[in-house]
Amino acid sequence: ALMRRPKFKATERLVENLREKIPEIVLRTSVIVGFPGEKTKHFDKLLKDVERLKFDWLGAFTYSPEKGTLAYSITPKISSQVKKKGYRQLMKLQQSITLKLNQKRVNKTYPLLVDREKEGHCQFQAPEIDGKTLLQEKYLVGEIFRGRILAVSNVYDLIGKKVNHISLTAPPSHPR
């Protein structure tokens, strides 16, 4: 409705190709719920598409009118109650997807960057929006190591531990 109408089949093919060529790829998207003119059938299709594409992370927000934008004059407006209900429904679906994907990460190792004494982020977690990895011991902020995921703490956060240090220096050159 924002005058961006990518064809779902093309998007689905793109996601499938990316996952085939880069199996460890992590995909995130953002969506607006309750855009003016959104009908139940549009929202139901969004839910189906999210279920099929299974994004690792999804950010959602409800539409809010902004004067001076093209969307401001579009009707019909969606009630606040309907927008909130749709938002909750979408996030419940996405939480089940993210939880399953995070559960598959348990017992695997990933590079981990420490950004608080007992907290860091793996390569698939964008700071501040995609959850964090809670650490059982204190580490130096900025330290990078391979971390093993021990458990899922909640839908978004993981529990991990250091497996070994990652060297950021180039390996020594060998004379020929």
Return the CATH number at 40: 3.30.750.200
Clarify whether residues 114 and 147 are in a common domain. yes
94's CB contacts (< 8 A; 6+ apart) are: 50, 55, 58, 60
> Can you read off the two tokens belonging to residue 175?
């004379």
Return the CATH number at 132: 2.40.50.140
> Can you read off the two tokens belonging to residue 170?
């180039």
| Domain membership flag for residue 1 | no
Tens of pLDDT, residues 145-175: 999 999 999 999 999 999 987 665 545 555 5
pTM: 0.84
Task: State the total domains in the chain.
Answer: 2
Upstream peptide bond of 76 is cis (omega within 30 degrees of 0): yes
Q: How is the chain split among helix, strand and coil, in percent rounded to 5?
A: 30, 25, 45
**CB burial string 112-149: b at 16+ within 10 A, e below:** bbbbeeeebbbebbeeeebbbbbbeeebeeeeebebbb
Tens of pLDDT, residues 60-110: 999 999 999 988 889 899 999 999 999 999 999 999 999 999 999 999 999
Domain that residue 142 falls in:
109-165
